[in-house]
Amino acid sequence: MNTMNNKKFMMIDGLPVAIEGEKNILDVIRKAGIELPTLCYYSVLSTYGACRMCVVEGKHGEIMASCSTPPRSGMEIKTNTPRLQKYRRMVLELMLADHCRDCTTCDKNFDCKLQDLAQRFGLKDVRFEPYSIWDDKDESSLAITRDPNKCIICGDCVRMCSEIQNVGAIDFAFRGSKMEVTTAFKMPISETNCVNCGQCAAICPTGAITVKNDTRSLWEDLYDDNTTVVAQIAPAVRVALGDEFDIPRGTNVMGKIVAALRRMGFDEVYDTATGADLTVIEEAREFIEHLENDGTLPLFTSCCPAWFRYAEINHPELYDNISSCKSPMEMLGSVLKERAKVNETGKKPKKTKVVAIMPCTAKKFEIHRDEFQYDGEPTVAHSITTIELANMIREAGLRFEEILPEAVDMPFGIASGSGMIFGVTGGVTEAVIRYVMGSAARDHLADISFTGVRGFDGLKEVKIPYKEDRELSIAIVSGLKNAENLIQAMQAGEVHYDFVEVMACEGGCIAGAGQPFVIGRAKPERSEGMYEADRLSNVKLSAENPVAEGLYANLLAGDKAHHLLHYK
């Protein structure tokens, strides 16, 4: 030990491991390459210590939860002893006793931490009877389904909802063996302040909260000869779908997605990044108008539907501050519907349905909002998540790894790099800055990327010069708790901004709840994938996208641009 200088060490299973500022011994153990099981521990959330899977044994035989024990120099612990094995198996068995075990029909089959651990610890028999009878599923939400029969009371969703998203739509209720996770007064979740961000479903280790599956009705439309099915793919989807098919994290698989969609029967395939270019143009114009004409400032972005809902419920006073722009998905959807209508021929024209493939669960809610209807029907007929797309690809029997990439369709087949980076926190802002700087931005792309718009801080502040005498103050937040803190500071007069980008999910759409699981895993790789897509695009500025130029000259001419691209 003398050779180890002043460093602090602890002994894990007889081997010395350095303590380097970890807040608990669990992190030290995992650093040492031991995958200690946990169901309720995430470093981004507060420590709860409820699942008891991470127990370790101390020198004197004491058993402690490693997630809630700080490391001390000289500590000696063991992670695998007969007692610990017995203890963990017992805890698992008790959890399973009261858990609906219809695994084959569960949405989380093969993607369930409880199932994983039962396998890992070789649990073959559950000796105990279930001890509680829970309520029926809550299917009221358009985004998520709650099934209390699969809840293990780990509280991950509760802490996610309140600590990260500042929503608190669900919490524990009652106590002891009657304890459950539910809404206030067991209201249907759709009647609460839930914003549909879906992060509860993303973090749920079991199938107790799952993302709504909307693929059945989509298959029906695909099989219907009288329906033209048009897909649009959001930027963040292309750098995450690969996770589901063992493709290296962050790899851009856009071309493969396009090809797979065609095989499945989609008639046309476009890129939501093209819609994002329209959003940049419209939102930047709106911003400049607010700036020049003493309009309401700051201008908040409106493209994130969970943030939009959050603001609607909690901050109606900000109505005038929120951009009147539709989201890129709705903008492109409106354009596609309008084009279909203009091009309609014959007595009984085929119906056109727009399908959005999104990293997001709140989009499932957004498409049904009154603001986003076209001729009395949702502009976007279906919004499915990245994971739903992966499941459809498997269902169709396509070997995704082997599919050769294809390009999206004309006439909307071009998206700028500005549109691509919408998928990551700061992307909208970076795109708007490029627009506001005009063609000068082309020579300053690197400078803009270093202003502070990139990275994963919950709050990023950027200052950019505007005209000769003005400096624009911009804030970028992701995670609704961070958004709330900013609003509080703003309303207390402590800070002032001209433009605020809000994304409900921490890290932006790449970490959306419709994506393969991301927390503590794939954010840097996915964000790099987005920036690479930007670097590889030959058009960098939204305003220079020839598709956008063409649209403004024709389909969006006159007041149609406002009519189709804005909800206010």
Partner 1 sequence: MDNQELYQKIDEIIRAHDDDKPIVAILQDIQEEYRYLPREAFDYLSKKLGVSLAKIYSIATFYENFSLSPKGKYVIKICDGTACHVRKSIPILEALRKELGLSSEKSTTDDLMYTVETVSCLGACGLAPVLTVNDKVHPAMTPEKAIELLSELK
Concerning whether 371 is annotated as a catalytic residue, the answer is yes
In terms of CB distance, is 162 or 190 closer to partner 1? 162
Instruction: Report, in Å, the least distance between residue 68 CB and partner 1.
Output: 21
**Least spacing, CB of residue 503 vs partner 1, in Å:** 21
Contacting residue, 11, 50, 126, 173, with partner 1 by CB under 8 A = 173
Specify the residue, 196 or 279, whose C-beta has the smaller distance to partner 1.
196
Out of 38, 69, 141, 192, point to the residue binding partner 1 (CB under 8 A). Answer: 192
Where b means 16+ CB within 10 Å and e means fewer, 391-404 reads bbbeeeebebeebe
Concerning whether 283 is annotated as a catalytic residue, the answer is yes
Tokens for 568? 């206010």
- Contact between 12 and partner 1 by CB under 8 A: the answer reads no
Looking at residues 148 to 167 of the shown chain, list those that interact with partner 1 (rule: CB under 8 A).
162, 167
Residue 458 sits in the site that holds partner 1 (CB under 8 A): no
Among 172, 223, 319, 450, binds partner 1 (CB under 8 A): 172
- Tokens 């493209």: give the residue: 303
Q: Which of 57, 268, 282, 286 is catalytic?
A: 286
What secondary structure, in 3-state letters, does 324-370 show? CECCHHHHHHHHHHHHHHHCCCCCCCCEEEEEEEECCCHHHHHCCCH
| Residue from 66, 141, 302, 323 carrying the catalytic annotation | 323
Output 155 or 423, the one with its CB closest to partner 1: 155
Query: Please, what is the Cα angle at 98 between 93 and 101, to 5 degrees?
Result: 85
Residue written as token pair 């020839």: 546
- 316 part of the interface to partner 1, by CB under 8 A: no
Q: Which range binds partner 1 by CB under 8 A, 70-78, 170-178, 213-221, 532-540?
A: 170-178
Q: Which of 111, 139, 171, 532 binds partner 1 (CB under 8 A)?
A: 171
What minimum distance in Å lies between the beta carbon of 477 and partner 1?
19
User: Catalytic residue at 139?
Assistant: no
**Of 366, 388, 501, 525, which is the active-site residue?**
366
Longest dimension (CA), the chain: 89
Identify which of residues 157 and 543 has a Cβ nearer to partner 1 in the complex.
157
- Which residues make beta-bridge pairs with 182? 171
Cβ neighbours of residue 428 closer than 8 Å, sequence gap 6 or more = 279, 280, 283, 301, 303, 422, 501
**Taking CB under 8 A as the rule, does residue 141 contact partner 1?**
no
Element (H, E) at 286: helix 272-292
183 vs 537, which CB is nearer to partner 1? Answer: 183
- Which residue among 67, 169, 218, 280 contacts partner 1 (CB under 8 A)? 169
Q: Has 162 been annotated as catalytic?
A: no
| Minimum distance from residue 313 beta carbon to partner 1 (Å) | 11
Q: Buried b / exposed e across 494-525, counting CB within 10 Å, b at 16+? A: ebebbbbbbbbbbbbbbbbbbbbebbeebbeb
C-alpha closest to that of 386 among 235, 545, 503: 235
Instruction: Clarify whether 509 is annotated catalytic.
Output: yes
How many residues can be counted in the chain? 568
Can residue 193 be called a binding residue for partner 1 (CB under 8 A)?
Answer: yes
Select 192 or 545, whichever has its Cβ closest to partner 1.
192
Tell me which DSSP letter residue 128 carries: S
Shortest approach of partner 1 to residue 59 CB, angstroms?
37
**Per rule CB under 8 A, is residue 110 in the interface with partner 1?**
no
Interacting span for partner 1 (CB under 8 A) from 105-113, 177-185, 316-324, 376-384: 177-185
How far lies 303's CA from each of 13, 259, 393, 482, 511, in Å?
50, 27, 28, 17, 15
CB contact at 8 A, 50 and 41? no
Contact pick of 168, 255, 413, 452 for partner 1 (by CB under 8 A)? 168
- Per rule CB under 8 A, is residue 68 in the interface with partner 1? no
Tokens, residue 214: 């909307």
DSSP structural state of residue 21: S
Q: Which stretch binds partner 1 (CB under 8 A): 78-86, 92-100, 184-192, 394-402?
A: 184-192
Whether 323 is catalytic is yes
Phi-psi region of 172 (alpha: psi -120 to 50; beta: other; left: phi over 0): beta
Residues catalogued as catalytic: 283, 286, 303, 323, 363, 366, 371, 509
Residues lying near partner 1 in the complex (CB under 8 A): 162, 167-175, 182-185, 192-193
